[in-house]
Structure 1
Amino acid sequence: MMTPWHIAIVIPARDEEELLPRCLRSILTAIAFLPANVTSDVVVVADQSADSTFALASETLRHAGVVVETDAGCVGSARSLGARLSLDRSNVPTARCWLANTDADCEVPETWLVDQLVWAEAGYAAVAGIIDVDSFEEHNKAVPERFRLSYLLHPDGTHPHVHGANLGVRADAYLLAGGWQDLATAEDHDLWCRLRLAGQNHIADARLRVLTSGRRIGRAPLGFAGALSAHNELVI
């Protein structure tokens, strides 16, 4: 009989007191949708946070997870710390431990974890989902359409995007690929590429969708916020 799955949700956060509670509430709802034999853990990494991120995360999670602090100032390092702690806290073999990654400014759907488990049970080592924007209020009126038109989705339900905000990976494959690197940006593309080079079975599923903040100034340099903001400058 196979060991039941354990899912660890890893969330880096820097000065996210405004949006982190929404994220964690959605995570806890998604956990409630998991089968009874699937265990879970949430690890929030407060990275150089000067606001109440740590306290809010601790209060919201209570016994559902743990919050740690770091002064790395680097999203790749924060994700790596979160994954390492998740594995230390796990009691299952790495082949039955799934690392579900998102960001503190995101909101996940209630079936987010269940949907990832479907791919895990099918033998996939990693799955990349897509993102949508919660609000475009900080942008000019042309940006929503420009974003939709530029965000490519294939007719077969796959896509070319990789977001640390919506990326699941089996722990043994994660370790084999070398894990998160200490990168301030594009750490998600880097890991995805190394998973592919390691021959790990992976898939990009457009049905796996999370909402992310539409803010113009993000936490990571050259991250999604910057790419979204660039649509304001286009001249047609």
Structure 2
Amino acid sequence: MSHNPWHVAVVIPARNEEALLPRCLKSVLEACALLPVSVTTDVVVACDTSTDLTFEIAKKILAEHGTVLTTEAGAVGHARSLATRMALRRYSGQLRRCWLANTDADCCVPRSWLVDQLLFADQGIETVAGIVDVDSFEEHDIGVGVRFRKSYLIHEDGSHPHVHGANLGIRGDVYLRSGGWKGLTTAEDHDLWDRLLKTAARRTSTNAVKVLTSGRRVGRAPHGFADALAAHNEVSA
């Protein structure tokens, strides 16, 4: 195992997220600060077809800690791909020591989020799929929170069947070998995860890496997590 220090790049797509982006970036910067001093960090936000102050807020909060770019693609997969490409361009070291940590602008990550991922990376794991929980169910019917958590399967050993672009880590060289993010409007995370399997990447799905995501009823990506959560409103209590 190499003892060269890690570089961690956090990649975040954002579309009209002026309300929730400050929470996200604050939590990401706190997670970066908890890493060992030998670990270098970068944060890249891809502002996709935003008409609010998402870009300006990201620039102000990140300052020297990262960068913000814009795209008019209107596809989360393209935004992730563009941001990742920029993150890799800004890094000059060995790709096998570059860890790409993906989340979403409406998420809040715990302080140990990056430390926990690097624990797996140090064991030779090349990609990590974590889990999500919801911050509030106030936009939903009574009982949706209970139904969501009952249906959100986690096995006794902590493994699970979920894949969220909001909580997915991958080593830089493995990311490129898999072909990276495709410019999809939805399910770009499952697409990448499936291709990682085909390239024999060392994958793990674990509840040891968790992020908090918004419980909004209408999301940014069609047929994404918000739609899946909203579907619980249609189930009889």
TM range (shorter): over 0.9
> Are residues 1:23 and 2:33 paired?
no
Partner residue in 1 for 2:98: 97
Deviation of 1:173 after TM superposition, in Å, equals 0.5
Deviation of 1:235 after TM superposition, in Å, equals 2.4
- The whole-number CA distance in structure 1 between the counterparts of 2:210 and 2:132 is 5
> Are residues 1:173 and 2:161 paired?
no
Query: How far does the alpha carbon of each residue in 1:62-84 deviate from its partner, in whole angstroms, 9 at most, with x for none?
Result: 00000000001000000000110
Structure 2 counterparts to residues 23-102 of structure 1, below 5 A: 23-102=24-103
Partner residue in 2 for 1:193: 194
Deviation of 1:96 after TM superposition, in Å, equals 0.5
What's the secondary structure of 2:42's corresponding residue? strand
> Are residues 1:141 and 2:123 paired?
no
Deviation of 1:2 after TM superposition, in Å, equals 3.3
Deviation of 1:142 after TM superposition, in Å, equals 1.1
- The whole-number CA distance in structure 2 between the counterparts of 1:163 and 1:226 is 14
Query: How far does the alpha carbon of each residue in 1:99-129 deviate from its partner, in whole angstroms, 9 at most, with x for none?
Result: 0000000000000000000011100110000
**Unaligned 5+ runs, structure 2:** none
What's the secondary structure of 2:114's corresponding residue? helix
- The whole-number CA distance in structure 2 between the counterparts of 1:34 and 1:145 is 34
RMSD over aligned Cα, in angstroms? 0.7
The one-letter amino acid paired with 2:44 is V
Deviation of 1:234 after TM superposition, in Å, equals 1.0
Deviation of 1:155 after TM superposition, in Å, equals 0.1
- The whole-number CA distance in structure 2 between the counterparts of 1:170 and 1:200 is 10
- The whole-number CA distance in structure 2 between the counterparts of 1:124 and 1:191 is 16
- The whole-number CA distance in structure 2 between the counterparts of 1:2 and 1:116 is 17
- The whole-number CA distance in structure 2 between the counterparts of 1:92 and 1:157 is 33
Query: How far does the alpha carbon of each residue in 1:175-232 deviate from its partner, in whole angstroms, 9 at most, with x for none?
Result: 0000000111000001011001100001001121100000000000000000000000
- The whole-number CA distance in structure 1 between the counterparts of 2:133 and 2:149 is 9
- The whole-number CA distance in structure 2 between the counterparts of 1:2 and 1:152 is 36
- The whole-number CA distance in structure 1 between the counterparts of 2:218 and 2:165 is 17
CA contact (8 A) 1:12 1:104 kept: yes
Structure 2 counterparts to residues 207-226 of structure 1, below 5 A: 207-226=208-227
Structure 2 counterparts to residues 219-234 of structure 1, below 5 A: 219-234=220-235
CA contact (8 A) 1:3 1:92 kept: no
What's the secondary structure of 2:139's corresponding residue? coil
**Unaligned 5+ runs, structure 1:** none
Partner residue in 2 for 1:7: 8
Query: How far does the alpha carbon of each residue in 1:1-26 deviate from its partner, in whole angstroms, 9 at most, with x for none?
Result: 73210000000000000000000000
Give the TM-score taking structure 2 as reference length: 0.98
Deviation of 1:92 after TM superposition, in Å, equals 1.2
What's the secondary structure of 1:73's corresponding residue? coil
What's the secondary structure of 1:100's corresponding residue? strand
- The whole-number CA distance in structure 1 between the counterparts of 2:236 and 2:149 is 17
- The whole-number CA distance in structure 2 between the counterparts of 1:231 and 1:92 is 45
Partner residue in 1 for 2:163: 162
Query: How far does the alpha carbon of each residue in 1:11-70 deviate from its partner, in whole angstroms, 9 at most, with x for none?
Result: 000000000000000000000100000000000000000000000000000000000000
